Structures are given as structure tokens and as C-alpha cells.
Amino acid sequence: MKIKLQNLGFWYREGEPIFTKLDLELPLPAWIAISGESGVGKTTLVKLLAGLLEPCHGTIIYPPNFNGHKHLPIGFLYQNPDNQLVQLNVERELAFVLENAGVPFAAMHARVEQALDDWGLRARRQASPQMLSGGEKQRLALASLLIDTPSLLILDEPTSGLDILRRQDFYQYIRELYQQGIGIIWVTQDEDELQMAEQVLVIRNNSEVVWL
């Protein structure tokens, strides 16, 4: 399977394009790192892939019936988990995406209960996400994405605010998800994280993309 970008163009302001005629194929499932200097469009590219931004021209073609899902099965983990944790408590945060997907209550309840156990958050189920520790916020953000079983997980420099121990825990989570068949696209400039990837895509200052 592949995601294909054809003649893709995007800009935030007219006359200042981030991408003009981008053609790119991304294999799935795979572990792909995206790197490049600050400001070259790394976050823009992954937001386009996740459907968080719409191309100004061109198309993004996803595999037919992407892993049996009716909606786009992509989870997007922001650099700062505070930017995606929006509900009143941990339990509601986990249920939010399932409610939007129309999952029946009984099934939703079972999946929330399982996620609380899987991610060590049961004791914090009624806590506000803003009152969690940094590591707990990261686990909750991941759990809230994975509860809807995405086929692809996009990570936008998610370890930049973590200490070394929390980074190692996070790396282990991602390795296990990849072993389960979830594709990984990881925006990073960290050398250790680049070496974890199967393939590295570099975006250059002229918006040219190059596979290493």
C-alpha cells in the first residue's frame, strides 16, 4: 500500500508557497522519519497527510478502503500533548474519538476501560488532563489516538519535551506499535530517532524532498 501525493501545492499566504509541485509516494506500513531544517515544511507536510490541512492544489491518494476503515485511519500526535488534550477528564478524553466515530456505548465503554488498564491511567480516570504529569499526558495522548485503531501514526517531534527516561519509554511504545503493524511517520531531527527509522525523507530549503 502507498499514500501518493500528486502535483501537490500548499501555501499559508498567496505568493509564499511551502510546496508547489510535490510528487511523493509513501509506502505503508513502514517506519519513515522526516527531517530537515526548521521552517522547510515538515509539520505542514504531515498535517496535509493527516487531513488537518487541505492542499491548495493537487491530490493526496490513499489506499482504497484503507485497512477497512470508513474514515481516514490516521492518528496525529502533536509535539505538545496539551494541544490535543481538550476534554474535562481522562475518561472523556479516551471516549471522545469513539463518540465521534459513532461507536455504540457498550463497545465504547469496554474499549475505554481496556485503554485505562493498558496505559496505566485507571487511577487517573477522573483527573483533568492538565493535572497529569508530562509522561501521563503523553500516554493519554497516545492512548486517545490508538483507541480507534489507526493504520498510521504520525508523530510531530513528540519527544522534544521529555527527559531521557521518558524518551526511552516512549521509544518502546512506538516499537511495539510498529510490531503490531501500525505505520509510523516521525518528524524528527534527533540522530537516534533517525536511526530507528527504516527510511528517512529529508525536506530541503527549496522544498525538494530526498530519500536517504
C-alpha 43/C-alpha 36 separation (Å) is 11
In the numeric block, which cell numbers belong to residue 48?
496535509
Residue type, 137: K
Give 119's DSSP letter.
T
Q: Catalytic pick from 91, 136, 157, 193?
A: 157
Q: Could you tell me the CA-to-CA distances from 170 to 4, 31, 166, 167, 176 in Å, in that order?
A: 29, 15, 6, 5, 10
- CA dihedral (45, 153, 155, 86) positive or negative: positive
| 157 has catalytic annotation | yes
- Phi then psi dihedrals of residue 168, to 5 deg: -65, -40
> Do 142 and 93 contact (CB within 8 A), yes or no?
no
The catalytic residues are: 157
